[in-house]
A and B are shown apart, each in its own frame.
Chain A
Amino acid sequence: QEKVQQSPESLIVPEGAMSSLNCTFSNSASQSIWWYQQHPGKGPEALISIFSNGNKKEGRLTVYLNRASLHVSLHIRDSQPSDSAVYLCAVYGSSGNKLIFGIGTLLSVKP
């Protein structure tokens, strides 16, 4: 069964710092990998996705994908208190319609 694991479980950073979140997945045939942000009691919102090896940058977000090591990371530059939320890594399974989520990383940015 395809699995997605995230680390760390929680992360506390000071305002203005870089936040780094990690995700590993089990299926090398997985297609796009997505990062979602979820605030308490709300539905997740997509932040950024990546398909090809390498990195992709959007605003303060940078995502790195290494398919050989089945690893993807999300980096948030200049973290703000409003970035405090749970960050979910999601990978499409080989069937194409099933999106598999990790348990999430709780990010707290302290002023």
Chain B
Amino acid sequence: AQTIHQWPVAEIKAVGSPLSLGCTIKGKSSPNLYWYWQATGGTLQQLFYSITVGQVESVVQLNLSASRPKDDQFILSTEKLLLSHSGFYLCAWSLVGGSSYEQYFGPGTRLTVL
């Protein structure tokens, strides 16, 4: 069975501080990976997607970056947090790309920027 793990579960950070959020998928080889962000009361927005190691495409510009250092790992980061970065960050995977395939979401990381 496939499992998706995100870390940390929650984070409180100061404006201007760096951030690194992680996601690992176990039990599935070479999945497509995605990062999403959901502001409180807002729409779930896709930020990045990756179809293979070392290849990441940006969907929305939010002064964040993403990397895929291993087949089963996806990292979201920034060097300087803004207040507007607060929200719920979700990692997801799919078997392959394309609209016919379900995206499976992780449990999420709650980020509060003060």
Contact = CB atoms under 8 A, between A and B. Distances in A.
A32 interface: yes
A12 interface: no
Contact of A99 (B46, B57, B88, B110): B46
Interface in B36-92: 42-46, 49, 51, 57, 59, 88, 90, 92
Given A43-B107, A44-B105, A97-B57, A51 B99 contact: yes
A97 B43 CA distance: 18
A96 B99 CA distance: 6
Interface residues of A, number: 23
Given A34-B102, A97-B49, A42 B44 contact: no
Nearest to A44: B105
Contacts of B88: 41
Interface string A90-111: 0010001111111110000000
A46 B102 contact: yes
B107 A32 contact: no
Nearest to A49: B102
Most buried by B among A31, A32, A41, A44: A44
Contacts of A103: 42-43
A42 B102 contact: no
Closest 6 CB pairs of A and B: A43-B105, A31-B99, A92-B99, A32-B99, A101-B44, A46-B102
17 contacts: A31-B99, A41-B108, A41-B110, A42-B108, A43-B106, A44-B44, A46-B102, A49-B102, A97-B51, A97-B57, A97-B97, A98-B46, A99-B34, A99-B103, A102-B43, A103-B42, A103-B43
